[in-house]
Amino acid sequence: MTGVEPIDIKEKIQAANAEAFNRIVSADPVLVDIRPAGEVVPGLEDRMVLHSGPPVEWRNMSGAQKGAVIAMAIFECWADDIQSAEELLSGGGIKLESNHHHDAVGPMAGTISKSLPVYVVENRAYGNRAYCRLVEDQQQFGNYHTEAIDGLRMWRDVWAPSLGQGIRHMGGLSLKPIIAKALQMGDELHNRPNAASAIFAGAMGVPMIESGVTTTDLTSTLSYISGHDLLFLGLAMASAKSAADSARGIEYSTVVTAMARNGYEFGINVSGLDGDWFTAPAPAIDGLYLPGYGEGDGGFDMGDSAITETVGWGGFALGGAPGILSLVGGTPEEALNYSREMREITTGLSPDYSIPALGFEGTAVGIDIRKVAASGTLPIIDTAIAHKNPGHSIIGAGLVRPPMVCFHNALRAFAAKYGLG
Amino acid sequence: MESKTAIDKLLATPVAAINLGVEDFADNLESQGAWVVHVNWTPPAGGDPEIIAILDKIL
């Protein structure tokens, strides 16, 4: 017989998945700084824009992601206007690479370029770092107009430097206690990070004052952070990325280490198949739309924010966050069932992150491609909706599941790599 | 004949059914007054023989 004895490989997979699960749940994310991406993100070059999801060429990019990349070209002063930015991009004048290839993540279009400050989160349990950009409701959805780019400028020039000064003054901010507390306060940390955002905003005032942030910048920054319900999503994503990355590259592990979308394709990474993307066309989102928009306007699924579901938050913790249902649709009972359903396809329950509505049981962690394929149950992701065309802000929110073919193709690759032919 | 008697008996009693898979069949029976238990079931791996063969080795 060629290949590995079946009993042997089952044991190896079980041990590898236990290791992946332990690394994810023991992650200890600490916000250590907020810095321009060009100073901290590995491999980020000049004239390069990082984007969400698996790698995608300019010609295949979704409308919203194209809009967001155009905005970054104007933000970086590589182009003066929309038309010249489009010409530059069409001619290959700007390199486009996946955030995930640079230890980074970004919401929706997810665009990161050298001057844009990013959260720097260190996983103190494993020693790795992950990066995420700010969250807002305009440019990351493909809006390339002046008001959207002005938001990035305020982040670059005032808010990020002020927060970064406060963070450095306090010697870093441990995020695990905030995440645990927020899950008990009705957050799922993806579409609803409201409680975590309020806790984070509350933690930043004194350090910014003590570190000497000027009154003008302090007032502007306090106003920004205290009125931004989605503020913490960038920190949740960086925390999740730092946890998921620590579980990459464990031989024989069938645990998913990333789920990401770019509006063109949905892609997953698997620990024991590190470096490979398993992709399929991005699905449509079942959701609710803001006034003036409808299903015909929506682009396909987009964003790196599904890294939160990858580590057991977001849709996986929906049962504890009924408040989000007014945004994404559904009933509280359905939300509880989603959280219960995710236990069928995961490796275990988090010992630290629990859901009060489920008897304080832990969130389901460690998506196993074998269990997904065998059960037919796909991960549930709650997400926002961007327009199908460039130039728009957020238009809605809803629920989505990955295409099953991603998991089937990963299993085929696993069989090939580990000699199960 | 004994088999004919059994069928006669079966058809003469109210229908009680366990429905696997497609829920519409259960709904149709129920709308005609039958007692139905629906079991939410799909073939493993969507019935894909290649994936089933892989899962047999690793799950």
Which residue in chain A is spatially nearest to B51 when comparing CA positions? A408
Distance, in Å, from the CA atom of A367 to the CA atom of A256, rounded to the nearest integer, reads 5
Q: How many domains does chain B have?
A: 1
Distance, in Å, from the CA atom of B46 to the CA atom of A55, rounded to the nearest integer, reads 28
Distance, in Å, from the CA atom of A373 to the CA atom of A392, rounded to the nearest integer, reads 36
Strand spans (E) along A238-312? 256-262, 265-270, 278-281, 286-289, 302-303
**Tokens, residue A378:** 């796909």
CA neighbor of A265 nearest in space, from A278, A282, A251, A240: A282
Per-residue pLDDT tens digits for A108-129: 999 999 999 999 999 999 999 9
Are A192 and A323 in contact by the 8 Å Cβ rule? The answer is yes
- Please tell me if residue A12 touches chain B, with a CB cutoff of 8 Å: no
**Tokens, residue A112:** 């990161």
Which residue in chain A is spatially nearest to B42 when comparing CA positions? A376
What is the pLDDT, as a whole number, of residue B46? 85
Contact list, A411 vs chain B (CB under 8 Å): 51, 54-55
Q: Which fold has domain A27-237?
A: Enterococcus faecalis V583 fold (3.90.1710)
Q: Do the chains contact at B45 and A13, CB–CB below 8 Å?
A: no
All residues at 6 or more sequence positions from B25 whose CB lies less than 8 Å from its CB, including other chains: B19
For tokens 């306060």, the residue is A185
Torsion angle in degrees (nearest 10) through CA of A209, A214, A217, A218: 20
Distance, in Å, from the CA atom of A273 to the CA atom of A249, rounded to the nearest integer, reads 7
How many other β-carbons are positioned within 10 Å of the β-carbon of residue A315? 29
Distance, in Å, from the CA atom of A227 to the CA atom of A17, rounded to the nearest integer, reads 40
Q: Do the chains contact at B58 and A254, CB–CB below 8 Å?
A: yes
- Phi, psi angle pair for A258, to nearest 5°: -165, 140
Q: Tell me the sheet residues that pair with A50.
A: A97, A112
Closest CA of chain B from A145, distance in Å: 45
pLDDT in 10s for each residue of chain A, 421 residues: 445 555 699 999 999 999 999 999 999 999 999 999 999 999 999 999 999 999 999 999 999 999 999 999 999 999 999 999 999 999 999 999 999 999 999 999 999 999 999 999 999 999 999 999 999 999 999 999 999 999 999 999 999 999 999 999 999 999 999 999 999 999 999 999 999 999 999 999 999 999 999 999 999 999 999 999 999 999 999 999 999 999 999 999 999 999 999 999 999 999 999 999 999 999 999 999 999 999 999 999 999 999 999 999 999 999 999 988 888 888 999 999 999 999 999 999 999 999 999 999 999 999 999 999 999 999 999 999 999 999 999 999 999 999 999 999 999 999 999 998 7
Are A247 and A253 in contact by the 8 Å Cβ rule? The answer is yes
Length of chain B: 59
Q: Do the chains contact at A6 and B44, CB–CB below 8 Å?
A: no
CATH number of A6-24+248-417: 3.90.1700.10
For an interface test with A, give the residue of B52, B55, B58 to mutate (most A CBs within 10 A).
B58
What is the pLDDT, as a whole number, of residue A3? 52
What is the pLDDT, as a whole number, of residue B2? 54
- What's at A180, amino acid-wise? A
Closest CA of chain A from B59, distance in Å: 7
Distance, in Å, from the CA atom of A99 to the CA atom of A42, rounded to the nearest integer, reads 10
Residue B46: which of A370, A404, A420 has the nearest Cβ? A404
Per-residue pLDDT tens digits for B4-49: 788 888 778 888 899 998 899 999 999 998 999 998 888 888 889 9
Domain boundaries, chain A: 6-24+248-417, 27-237
Are A283 and A304 in contact by the 8 Å Cβ rule? The answer is no
Q: Print the domain residue range for B27.
A: 2-58
Q: What is the 8-class DSSP label of residue A155?
A: I
Which residue in chain A is spatially nearest to B58 when comparing CA positions? A10
Which residue in chain A is spatially nearest to B52 when comparing CA positions? A374
Q: Do the chains contact at A411 and B48, CB–CB below 8 Å?
A: no
Distance, in Å, from the CA atom of A182 to the CA atom of A193, rounded to the nearest integer, reads 7
Are A99 and A52 in contact by the 8 Å Cβ rule? The answer is yes
CA neighbor of A408 nearest in space, from A270, A263, A309: A270
Q: Do the chains contact at B58 and A370, CB–CB below 8 Å?
A: yes
C-alpha dist (Å) from residue B51 to A141, A382, A413, B6, B58: 37, 28, 11, 42, 11
Closest CA of chain B from A371, distance in Å: 8
- Helix ranges restricted to H, A269-395: 307-310, 325-328, 332-341, 369-375
- Please tell me if residue A280 touches chain B, with a CB cutoff of 8 Å: no
Are A200 and A178 in contact by the 8 Å Cβ rule? The answer is yes
Q: How confident is the model at residue B3 (pLDDT cuts 50, 70, 90)?
A: low
Angle A11-A13-A15 (CA atoms, 0-180°, nearest 5)?
70
What is the pLDDT, as a whole number, of residue A212? 98
Q: Do the chains contact at A408 and B51, CB–CB below 8 Å?
A: yes
What is the pLDDT, as a whole number, of residue A1? 43
